Amino acid sequence: MGNFINAILAFVELEARRLKYNRTELYTRAVQPILWLVVFGPVMARVRALPTGGIPYIAFITPGVIMQSVTFVSIFYGLTIVWERESGILKKLLAMPVSRVSIILGRSSASIKGIVPVRNNNANSHSIRR
């Protein structure tokens, strides 16, 4: 059971390191919701084209913006797995001495963490202990 959890945490750490060194991805994840909530939201609220039933327009569009961001990150991680399959990385991952379920759960957990980026304060920590 310990190796299973360590394998999941290793994949989460892998994605966290990938985000740490690829700031462009982090910025693109943040820009889209900010644009919708800060720029387009107030402009569309003034147009009053959509009846919101008395709810402020920003509160009305926030759940949709969150779902749009989640969908974008999910699609990105799906494309990453396709790219890893085509480049041969996925074969190497499947040849590792960990269960395939831990690979899937680790990747999924990493994509959830990618939705809400969390800073890793201890960059030298290792998830897999031998």
User: How is 18-73 classified by DSSP, letter by letter?
Assistant: HHHH-HHHHHHHHHHHHIIIIIIHHHHHHHT-S--TTS-HHHHHHHHHHHHHHHHH
3-class DSSP state of 115: helix
Return mean pLDDT, the chain. 78
Cβ-proximal residues to 11 (8 Å cutoff; 6+ apart), any chain: 102, 103, 105, 106, 107, 109, 110
Res. 126: pLDDT tops 50: no
Res. 129: pLDDT tops 60: no
What pLDDT is stored for residue 110 in this prediction? 66
Cα gap 8→104, rounded to integer Å: 8
Confidence of residue 118 (pLDDT cuts 50, 70, 90): very low
Q: Could you give the percent of the chain with pLDDT greater than 90? A: 7
What pLDDT is stored for residue 86 in this prediction? 92
What pLDDT is stored for residue 111 in this prediction? 61
Q: Position of tokens 């759940």?
A: 63
Q: Domain residue spans in the chain? A: 2-115
- Residue 86 buriedness (CB in 10 A; 0-12 / 13-18 / 19+): exposed
Confidence of residue 74 (pLDDT cuts 50, 70, 90): confident
Res. 13: pLDDT tops 80: yes
Res. 33: pLDDT tops 80: yes
The first and second tokens of residue 10, run together, are: 């290793």
Res. 35: pLDDT tops 80: yes
